[in-house]
Amino acid sequence: MPGTLLVRGARQLITLRGSAEPRRGAALKELSIIRDGALLIEDGRIVQVGLSRRVEILARMLRPQEIDATGRVVMPGFVDCHTHLVCGVPGMDAYEERIAAAEPTHKTAASVQALGSCSGHRLESRARQFVNGMIRHGTTTLEAKSGYGFDARSELKILRVQAKLNGMPLDIASTLLTPYRIPAEYASDAAGYYSWMCAELLPAIRRREFARFAGLRCGESAFDMAQSRRYLETARALGFQLKVHAGQHAASDAVRLAVEVGAASVDRLQDAGPADLDLLARSNTMAVLLPGNTFQGGSGGCAHARQLIDGGAAVALGTNFNPGASSTYSMPAIIALACANVGMSPAEAICAATFNAACAIGSGAVAGSLEVGKPADLIVLNASDYREIPYHFGVNLVNRTVKRGVTIYQEGRVALR
């Protein structure tokens, strides 16, 4: 059970405090760093943030447990705002074909078939392994999508597993995502499939509270633009928050649709013209970038972050962890790719992977920053400067992960002979 905890002596305490809205433009670089910083935590929530000497004086009478972060970076836990946590077994043959092909290919059939034949218990066991890996890499909150089921039974199975894993120990915001294709039973009845989704599946998911978001693959699903709009409006009327997935098509249709229906985010942007930048800059819809896609064998591009940021759009980062396009669940790796390949500075990438990512999944009030009153979700790094995260590409610098004031991962010792 969480009691009183003091985290003290941080060389850099990255708080990201100071704004309730997603960071844009120059504000995306404002990490609100406290040198020699400390946190006082009671019952899983932060009660004091400041210089170590001041917070230690306040903590003296409480006799808290202590985490000595001397010389280290302490920062909010990462928020991964785009994953497919519950998914089929990755196809190694398809992976090898994809990286060898002149043109990217997308073979999801094997993963979909594997998911359909797996029991819920086996999917849960596999997903728990992924969650454990995410924790070791500093993720404390995530979003997880369905969309690999291709039929009602499989979609419900995915969402049921994610609901079961929520809070054990990570917070998981689920999204019901439209599949790539019409299920076999509706192969000759696209209109009937659309009606069934709106009249039966959406209300059933809402009643069970299996998903916070309803997401739509713009241009990749069975719906035309008019149906896509009505689908999202139906979901919103039922109480879902909305997400739009830009997919492999031009950004304009997805951006316009996302902004017009008030979607929380438009994900997987590959390009963005001046009109798209203007729409995003004047809206509350965030651009979620997935730089892991391009790295993983050229499977889908990624919009250039510099244009989005300079144009005034709010930008977040996610892994898109799934068996096809992006196989990493490491947010530090995504930060490194964002700096190397899509034009972000280390400070911008860290903000986009924490506070802005939390805002993209409706969790900005409870995740993504270290502020009085918020749950104590934080990580301690084997680093003295936050810029070491992208600098040490592929290196896991996480020394400790804390969720609601409780250590859920601590780096072990290397066995020496």
In a domain, 186, yes or no: yes
Q: Kindly report the length of the chain.
A: 417
Other CB atoms within 10 Å distance of the CB of residue 375 = 22
- 356 and 342 in a single domain? The answer is yes
In a domain, 132, yes or no: yes
Q: Locate tokens 């068996």: which residue? A: 323
Q: What is the pLDDT of residue 202?
A: 94
Q: What is the pLDDT of residue 304?
A: 79
Contact 286, 312 (CB under 8 A): no
In a domain, 139, yes or no: yes
- 66 and 96 in a single domain? The answer is no
- 64 and 89 in a single domain? The answer is no
Task: Collect all residues with Cβ–Cβ distance below 8 Å to 151 and sequence separation of at least 6.
Answer: 116, 183, 184, 185
Task: Collect all residues with Cβ–Cβ distance below 8 Å to 64 and sequence separation of at least 6.
Answer: 3, 4, 5, 6, 40, 41
Closest CA to 266 of 238, 100, 253: 253
Contact 216, 247 (CB under 8 A): no
Return the SS3 of 289. strand
> How does DSSP assign 109-161, residue by residue?
HHHHHHHHHS-HHHHHHHHHHHHHHHHHTTEEEEEEE--S--SHHHHHHHHHH
Strands 286-289 and 315-317, how do they pair? parallel
**Spans in the chain with pLDDT lower than 50:** 102, 299
For Cα atoms 85, 87, 90, give the angle at the middle one, nearest 5 degrees: 115
Q: What is the pLDDT of residue 416?
A: 76
Other CB atoms within 10 Å distance of the CB of residue 336 = 22
> How does DSSP assign 297-328, residue by residue?
TT-S----HHHHHHTT-BEEE---BSSSS---
- 33 and 150 in a single domain? The answer is no
In a domain, 416, yes or no: no
- 225 and 277 in a single domain? The answer is yes
Q: Where are the beta strands (DSSP E) in 234-302?
A: 241-245, 265-267, 286-289
Return the SS3 of 263. coil
Total domain count for the chain?
2
CA separation for the pair 95, 84 (Å, rounded): 17
CATH number of the domain to which 194 belongs: 3.20.20.140
- 142 and 119 in a single domain? The answer is yes
Q: What is the pLDDT of residue 77?
A: 98
CA separation for the pair 327, 330 (Å, rounded): 9
In a domain, 150, yes or no: yes
Which DSSP letter does residue 392 get?
A: S
Burial class (CB in 10 A: 0-12, 13-18, 19+), 283: middle
Amino acid letter, residue 372: V
CA separation for the pair 139, 87 (Å, rounded): 19
> pTM for the full model?
0.93
Q: Locate tokens 């597993």: which residue? A: 161
Strands 65-68 and 33-42, how do they pair? unpaired
In a domain, 262, yes or no: yes
Contact 216, 244 (CB under 8 A): yes
- 71 and 159 in a single domain? The answer is no
Other CB atoms within 10 Å distance of the CB of residue 320 = 30
In a domain, 417, yes or no: no
In a domain, 415, yes or no: no
- 184 and 280 in a single domain? The answer is yes
Residue 379's beta-bridge partner residues? 75, 401
Closest CA to 77 of 321, 399, 314: 399
- 9 and 155 in a single domain? The answer is no
Strands 4-14 and 73-76, how do they pair? parallel
- 253 and 320 in a single domain? The answer is yes
Contact 351, 26 (CB under 8 A): no
- Domain stops at, among 318, 343, 360: 360
Give me the domain span that covers residue 23. Answer: 4-76+369-410
- Domain stops at, among 318, 340, 360: 360
Contact 66, 54 (CB under 8 A): no
Contact 269, 254 (CB under 8 A): yes
- 152 and 208 in a single domain? The answer is yes
- 68 and 126 in a single domain? The answer is no
Q: What is the pLDDT of residue 253?
A: 87
CATH number of the domain to which 8 belongs: 2.30.40.10
Token readout for 381 is: 């790094």
Contact 224, 249 (CB under 8 A): no
